[in-house]
Chains A and B, each alone.
Chain A
Amino acid sequence: MKLNFAKANIDFLGQRRIALVVSLVLIIGSLLLLGFRGLNFGIDFTGGTLIEVGYPEVVELEQVRSQLETGGFGRATVQYFGTSRDVLIRLAPRDGENTAELSEEVLDVLRGGGPAGVELRRVEFVGPQVGEELREQGGLAMIYALIGILIYVALRFEWRFSVGAVTALVHDVIITLGIFSLFWLEFDLSVLAAVLAVIGYSLNDTIVVYDRIRENFRKLRKQGAEQVMNLSVNETLARTIITGVTTLLVLLALYLLGGAVIQNFALALIIGIVVGTYSSIYVAAAVALVMGVDRSVMLPVKKEGAELDDRP
């Protein structure tokens, strides 16, 4: 098997205006969604109680709902989780209620009457103040990761590349979050971890492209910045796509076989990797170019006048 990436000669940077429009539309759309609709935060961030129960036979949600209603938990949201034998019950935190004991009470209600053989599979209770802290920490984690990367890239390459890389990362994160908002997918701690992993992955892609740009600037002295960048993106295209494919293969396995708990995690990574691959081809280099990267910034800096300054 050999796909013909070798002769790839696509004018990626020439299409940067189209890419800009596409990216801007996606980002603005995502920001609007996030601003007006927000994210479907899981109980990790909102606080509350989540109870997963399993039945030996297929169970009707209506039955469970009416059972809970009779038991005084009419406000609970009930849904299937993975299969129609597993039921997820969510209870939002409510004023003046003993949340720590709630799960036992719910289970007692389900055990008395209704379908037999109900079995507790999982309880998650997050107190309101813990939820608030996790939300804060999550945001901070994302910001610190971006700052760390900004510094490393600035040291290893040049600040203009740094801006390009971080722009691409912010782009990926915003669009991934936007898609989660659009489809109202639950955003919990594991999804946050996935988003951070996306940052790592997308950066990996971007660095490979930048590395080649740096190398080509030093090697090809006669070509303009845009040409060099285009060549570099094309030369690394095979690698970008192959690595994307292998990673997507395992993530697909994780999404399809990993079970309901891990599904959103895998989905966030899949979305992020698709967007991240696009951004390292179309966004990262283009931003660096717009920022004014050319050969001169990549050549070793000669310390002109250093000797003069040292004179007494």
Chain B
Amino acid sequence: MNQYPYWKYVLIVVVMLVGVIYSLPNLYPEDPVVQVANSTTDVVDADTRLQIQAVLEGRGVEIKSTEFDGAQFMLRFSSADDQLLAADILRTALPGNHVVGLNLAPATPGWLRAINARPMSLGLDLRGGVHFLMEVDMDAVADNIYERYTGEFRTQLRDARIRYLSVERDADGVHARFADADSRDEALRVLRREYRGDLDFRTTQSGEVFRLSGTVTSDYLAAQRRLALQQNITTLRNRVDELGVAEPVIQQQGEDRIVVQLPGVQDTARAKEILGATATLEFRLVDESSDPFTAAETGRSPANSRLYFERDGTPVLLQRQVMLTGDFINDASSGIAQDSGSPAVFINLDAQGARIFSRVTGENVGRLMGVVFIETSTETVEEDGELVRRTTRTEEVINVARIQEQLGRRFQITGLDSTREARNLALLLRAGALAAPMSIVEERTVGPSLGRDNIERGFNSVAIGFFLVLIFMALYYRVFGLVANVALTLNLVLIVAILSLLQATLTLPGIAGIVLTVGMAVDANVLIFERIREELRNGNSPQAAIKAGYDRAFSTIADANITTLIAALVLFMFGTGPIKGFAITLSIGILVSMFTAIVVTRAIINLTYGRQRRLKTLAI
């Protein structure tokens, strides 16, 4: 009567087994972990590994186990307190080029890892961490382009021996002024040949002055903007790596935004500092011929000098001419200066930088040199209802010292307030500059305690809701209710297995989606069972009622579920992070429930009742 072919039973059993195996890893709790990496050599050597273990044992911190993957050294601890303590100890004990990061690592047994069975990753709202949405200042990109062209125009015109009055830039482009039309036309010919495709040229005349204006083409600007965004993403990635965060997410969103998610990061102030800042150094000679205090009082400095201030407010006059900019720095690390014992940053220059620097320092031995620290941060603020972007540029002299000897590739700078500051500066110098300033337009931070609460609450609500439905179904539909309950349990297992296989991120809204699915997954069974009851009332035999119930309910179930899927799809397309999580679990839940509620329950019912020819009643 009601029988499935054998392959269907086999299929169901296989799906069940796979589902159970791949959802298993989620039962193992995660270990708090400290990861140590070496940012200069990329490998934590054996000596350091032994040193780490010795230091921690000396301080009485118990290590659960250690792993070494060829580059990173990973230490597992049994509690988060041990983990934090160990990280603090290691941060001070290890040399500055070591990065100590906190993380959670799954404690999945080896045989499960071997078949690639991993637990779901938990969202920021469940494990704690920060989420930033950063917006790249695209106006600055055009500005940078024009700044570059202003210099290039001058060089080009000089090289072509064309006399010009001035080359200036504004927000609309670069403008060169000439005294006669011939020079201008000649300049147009030269520049157009050089910048075909990049710039559109326009000529104007006002009185005796002939102007040539270059405006960037929209194609070129768009390409430069894309490039700027890409470079910012790369830089952010470098910086995040330096922060020692595992499993960070750094993604483009839209045309000018970048999403940064840092799981487990608690110190948001530091994260913001590192992500948003652009910092560089400049080396300038001190103008020793004038008195900086007089300059500070009068506000007037000599023509070839500029007034700066040291951190304690002492004024200092530095030459306008820069000896070296931070662009030539190719590596930096932090540590303690041997001679003074104060925090220091050790700088490594590239070949060109080293050549320049050794020449200028060689020429100026015995003179004073100032190190200027330049930090730029951008933010968007609302002013009188208008959104205004404001860039703050902080320049301060962190160190003034006499040049004792010719400096080369490697040297150190001191004058920083703390080791932390030294670390940040080294990090920023190392991780490169941002192509355009960025500002944080959205932030979501979840503390670790709230994360734990959220997991617990989410789990409890799934468990309780699930059991309430199980009890209700068993009471209302008796044997058939129990069958539906088996299907519902399998449904839950399969959702977890699929989410784990996809390595989807589970968030609180995602859990809500699962809970809602539990409620709605029984709908298919309710439809089928009500139909069977109806068929029985109409006088059909139990076997015929089962068959008709399943057959007739199918198109209704399909229609109803497809429409819900449409809603879930729209949620997925328009929603951001958390809403997407809800949409994904809801969609998976609906699709899985079609399998469990129809195929699986039918198989069980076939096995229970299918062979009984003289079946009189159904426990429904």
Q: Interface digits, A77-121 against B, CB 8 Å rule (1 contact, 0 not)?
A: 000000000000000011111111101100000000000000111
B465 near A254 with CB under 8 A, answer: yes
In the complex, the answer to whether B519 meets A124 with C-beta atoms within 8 Å is no
Give which listed residue, B384, B559, B583, contacts A207 with CB less than 8 A: B559
Interface string of A122-134 (1 = CB under 8 A from B): 1111111110001
Are B516's CB and A246's CB within 8 A? no
Taking a contact as CB atoms under 8 Å apart, the answer to whether A141 and B575 are in contact is: yes
Question: Do residues B381 and A99 form an inter-chain contact, with CB atoms below 8 A?
Answer: yes
Q: A54-B449, A129-B441 are in contact. Are A148 and B566 (CB under 8 A)?
A: yes
Instruction: Pull 5 A–B residue pairs with CB atoms less than 8 Å apart, ordered by A.
Output: A123-B443, A200-B566, A243-B526, A249-B468, A259-B457
Q: Which 3 pairs between the two chains have the least Cβ-Cβ distance?
A: A250-B465, A200-B567, A247-B519
In angstroms, how far is the closest chain A Cβ from the Cβ of B138?
A: 14
- Asked if A95 and B566 make an inter-chain contact with CB atoms under 8 angstroms apart, the answer reads no
**Number of A positions contacting B (CB below 8 A):** 82
User: B579 to chain A: which residues have CB within 8 Å?
Assistant: 189-190, 192-193
Decide yes or no whether B262 CB sits under 8 A from chain A.
no
Query: Does B476 lie within 8 Å of A148, measured CB to CB?
Result: no
Query: Which residues on B sit within 8 Å (CB–CB) of A156?
Result: 559
| A200 & B564 in contact (Cβ 8 Å cutoff) | yes
Closest to B581 in A: A193
The reply to whether the CB of B555 lies closer than 8 angstroms to some CB of chain A is yes
Closest residue to B528 on the A side, CB-wise?
A239
Interface residue ranges of A251-273 to B (CB < 8 Å): 251-254, 256-259, 261-262, 265-266, 269
Selected from A54, A100, A199, A212, the residue in CB contact (under 8 A) with B443 is: A100
Query: B451 to nearest A CB, angstroms?
Result: 9
Q: Please, which residue of chain B has its CB at the minimum distance from the CB of A6?
A: B537
Residues from chain B with a CB closer than 8 A to the CB of A249 are 465, 468-469, 472, 519
Could you tell me if B512 and A254 are in contact, using CB atoms closer than 8 angstroms? yes
Q: Given A120-B447, A250-B466, do A103 and B268 touch, yes or no (CB 8 Å)?
A: yes
- In the complex, which residues 459-483 of chain B have their Cβ closer than 8 Å to any Cβ of chain A? 460-461, 464-466, 468-469, 472-473, 475-476
Residue in B444, B457, B458, B516 whose Cβ sees the most chain A Cβ within 10 Å: B516
> Is there contact, CB below 8 Å, between B439 and A199?
no
Q: Which of A189-217 contact B (CB under 8 A)?
A: 189-190, 192-193, 196-197, 199-201, 203-205, 207-208, 211-212, 215
B566 touches A246 (CB 8 A): no
- Bound-state CA distance A193–B578 (Å) is 9
- State the A residues within 8 Å of B (CB): 1-2, 6, 52, 54, 93-101, 103-104, 119-130, 134, 137-138, 140-141, 144-145, 148-149, 152-153, 156, 189-190, 192-193, 196-197, 199-201, 203-205, 207-208, 211-212, 215, 235-236, 238-239, 242-243, 245-254, 256-259, 261-262, 265-266, 269
On chain B, the residues within 8 Å of A208 by CB distance are 527, 556, 560
Complex contact B566–A149 (CB within 8 A): yes
CA distance A242 to B477 in the complex (A): 11
CB <8 Å contact, A204 and B560: yes
- Is B571 close to A, CB under 8 A? yes
| CB of B235 to closest CB in A, whole Å | 19
Interface check B75, CB cutoff 8 A: no
Q: Are B272 and A141 in contact, with the CB atoms below 8 A?
A: no
Q: Give B582's nearest chain A residue, CB to CB.
A: A193
* Min CB gap B5→A, angstroms: 29
Q: Which residue of B440, B469, B563, B573 is within 8 Å of A246 (Cβ)?
A: B469
Is there an interface contact between A246 and B457, defined as CB atoms closer than 8 Å? Answer: no
* Choice from A96, A99, A129, A134 contacting B576 with Cβ under 8 Å: A134
B381 CB contact (under 8 Å) in A98, A137, A141, A199: A98
**Is B533 part of the contact surface with A, judged by Cβ < 8 Å?**
yes
Query: At the interface, yes or no: B104 with Cβ under 8 Å from chain A?
Result: no
CA distance A212 to B570 in the complex (A): 27
Complex alpha-carbon distance, A93 and B604, angstroms: 59
The residue in chain B whose Cβ has the minimal distance to the Cβ of A165 is B563
Given contacts A122-B446, A125-B443, A251-B519, 12 further A-B contacts (CB under 8 A): A99-B379, A100-B272, A129-B380, A141-B573, A148-B567, A152-B562, A193-B571, A193-B578, A212-B556, A247-B519, A250-B469, A251-B515
Measured between beta carbons, the chain A residues less than 8 angstroms from B381 are: 95-99
Per-residue interface assignment for chain B, residues 288 to 331, with 1 indicating a CB less than 8 Å from any chain A CB and 0 otherwise? 00000000000000000000000000000000000000000000
CA distance in complex: A204, B443 (Å): 36
Query: CA separation between A235 and B268, bound complex, in Å?
Result: 58
Q: CA of A5 to CA of B458 in the docked complex: distance in angstroms?
A: 35
Establish whether residues B387 and A129, one from each chain, have CB atoms under 8 Å apart when the complex forms: yes
Contacts of B555 in A (CB 8 A): 211
Q: Which one of A126, A156, A243 has the highest number of Cβ atoms from chain B below 10 Å of its Cβ?
A: A243
In Å, the complex CA distance between A178 and B518 comes to 28
Residues of B within 8 A of A192 (CB): 579
A152 B526 Cβ-Cβ under 8 A: no
Q: A122-B447, A250-B465 are in contact. Are A200 and B441 (CB under 8 A)?
A: no
* Distance in angstroms between the alpha carbons of A149 and B563 in the assembled complex: 6
| Those of B550-597 within 8 Å (CB) of chain A | 552, 555-556, 559-564, 566-571, 573-576, 578-579, 582-583, 586
Flag if B441 contacts A258 (CB, 8 Å). no
Q: B473 — nearest CB in chain A belongs to which residue?
A: A246
Q: CA A1 – CA B446 in complex, angstroms? A: 46
Name the residue on A nearest B276 (C-beta).
Answer: A100
Q: Which residues of B contact A251 (CB under 8 A)?
A: 465, 515-516, 519
CA separation between A134 and B133, bound complex, in Å?
Answer: 13
The 8 A CB mask of B252-289 against A (1 = contact, 0 = none) is 00000000000000001100100010000000000000
Is B564 a contact of A204 with CB atoms below 8 Å?
yes
Q: Which residues of B contact A203 (CB under 8 A)?
A: 560, 563-564, 567
B170 part of interface (Cβ distance < 8 Å): no
A39, B380: Cα distance in complex, Å: 27
Cα A145 to Cα B563 in complex, Å, equals 10
State A93–B382 Cα separation when bound (angstroms). 8
A254 x B566 contact (CB < 8 A): no
Contact A266 B523 (CB under 8 A): no
The answer to whether A243 touches B457, judged by C-beta atoms less than 8 angstroms apart, is: no
Contact at B516–A269, with CB atoms within 8 Å?
yes
Bound Cα distance A249, B471 (Å): 11
B472–A190 contact, CB under 8 A?
no
Is B63 in the interface zone, CB < 8 Å from A? no
Task: Enumerate chain B residues within 8 angstroms of A119, measured Cβ to Cβ.
Answer: 447, 449
Which A residues touch B508, using CB under 8 A? 258, 261-262
Given contacts A145-B567, A250-B465, is CB(A262)–CB(B449) below 8 Å? no
Mark each residue of chain B from 502 to 523: 1 if its CB lies under 8 Å from any CB of chain A, else 0: 0000001100100110111011
A149 touches B519 (CB 8 A): no
Given contacts A121-B447, A257-B461, A262-B457, contact A127 B441 (CB under 8 A): yes
Q: How far, in angstroms, from A204 to B562 measured CA to CA in the complex?
A: 9
For the complex, give the distance between the alpha carbons of A278 and B465 in Å: 23
Residue of A whose beta carbon sits closest to that of B563: A203
Supposing A193-B509, A253-B515 touch, asked if A137 and B574 sit within 8 A by C-beta, the answer is yes
- Asked if B443 and A189 sit within 8 Å, CB to CB, the answer is no
Most A CB contacts (10 A, CB to CB) among B125, B445, B454, B566 go to B566
Contact A211 B556 (CB under 8 A): yes
Contact among B440, B449, B454 with A125 in the assembled complex (CB-CB below 8 Å): B440
Query: How far does the alpha carbon of A261 sit from the alpha carbon of B125 in the complex, in Å?
Result: 10
With contacts A130-B441, A190-B578 known, is A258 near B447, CB below 8 A? no
Distance (Å) between the CB of B593 and the closest chain A CB?
12
* Assembled-state Cα–Cα distance A148/B454 (Å): 34
Contacts of A239 in B (CB 8 A): 523, 526-527, 530
Chain A residue at minimal CB-CB distance from B392: A98
Residue of B nearest to A196 (CB): B571
> In the complex, A251 Cα to B465 Cα: how many Å?
7
Are A259 and B526 in contact, CB atoms less than 8 angstroms apart?
Answer: no
Nearest-CB distance from A142 to chain B (Å)? 8
Please give, as numbers and ranges, the residues of chain A lying within 8 Å of B533 by CB-CB distance. 6, 238
Asked if B563 and A204 sit within 8 Å, CB to CB, the answer is yes
Question: Nearest-CB distance from A159 to chain B (Å)?
Answer: 16
Smallest CB–CB gap between B427 and chain A, Å? 19
- Chain B: minimal CB distance from A216 (Å): 12
